[in-house]
Amino acid sequence: DAGITQSPRHKVTETGTPVTLRCHQTENHRYMYWYRQDPGHGLRLIHYSYGVKDTDKGEVSDGYSVSRSKTEDFLLTLESATSSQTSVYFCAISESKAGEETQYFGPGTRLLVL
């Protein structure tokens, strides 16, 4: 457990509505990540952050935005949710272990867009 929580854990929403997912960490990690996991695609990076107000895009960033105003919180926003964004969303942090950066995951958020 790397001290990561995600909220909400489950959400059902309708197409076209905005949705914000929250990732919270308690151990002052600099790097935070948002992934989505879908059958047949595995885990795919949406966005990541390397510090407060410092973010960068991953491979599937279209339709998503992020913000990090505090070290402990990394928010993922779907501005106008679509059915293709139905997925399981995982937040992760990066921690140095034996000289290597390794990623640890939060419990996930299951999002269903109707």
DSSP summary character for residue 60: T
Closer residue to other proteins (CB): 45 or 73: 45
Q: How far is the CB of 23 from other proteins (least distance, A)?
A: 12
Closer residue to other proteins (CB): 85 or 109: 109
Smallest CA-to-CA distance from 2 within 30, 21, 43 is with: 30
**58 contacts other proteins (rule: CB under 8 A):** yes
User: For residues 21 and 30, what is the distance between their CA atoms, to the nearest angstrom?
Assistant: 19
User: For residues 80 and 77, what is the distance between their CA atoms, to the nearest angstrom?
Assistant: 9
List the x/- string, 67-86, binding to other proteins by CB under 8 A.
Answer: --------------------
Smallest CA-to-CA distance from 23 within 78, 92, 112 is with: 92
Smallest CA-to-CA distance from 28 within 71, 75, 91 is with: 71
**62 contacts other proteins (rule: CB under 8 A):** no
Q: How far is the CB of 8 from other proteins (least distance, A)?
A: 15
List the x/- string, 4-33, binding to other proteins by CB under 8 A.
Answer: ---------------------------x-x
